[in-house]
Amino acid sequence: MREEKRLSRGELAERLGVTPRMVANYEENVCDVTLEVAVRLESILGEEVFEKLSLKALSRMYPGSRLPGEINPKDEYLRLLLSNMERLGFRSYAFSKAPIDAGLKSSSGGRRAAIKRHNEETELRELELAAMVSDETRTKLIVITEMKEGLAVADDYIAIPKGEVGDVSRKILSYIRELE
Amino acid 73: pLDDT? 65
**Which domains occur in the chain, in start order?**
9-50 (no CATH), 68-178 (3.40.1350.10)
Amino acid 53: pLDDT? 52
Amino acid 14: pLDDT? 94
Kindly give, in sequence order, each residue whose CB lies less than 8 Å from that of residue 58, ignoring residues fewer than 6 positions away.
68
Q: Is 45 exposed, middle or buried, given 0-12, 13-18 or 19+ CB atoms closer than 10 A? A: middle
pTM more than 0.95: no
Amino acid 17: pLDDT? 92
Amino acid 18: pLDDT? 92
Amino acid 8: pLDDT? 92
Amino acid 20: pLDDT? 93
Q: Which residues of the chain have pLDDT under 70?
A: 48-73, 109, 148-156, 179-180
Q: Is 63 exposed, middle or buried, given 0-12, 13-18 or 19+ CB atoms closer than 10 A? A: exposed
Amino acid 75: pLDDT? 79
Amino acid 11: pLDDT? 94
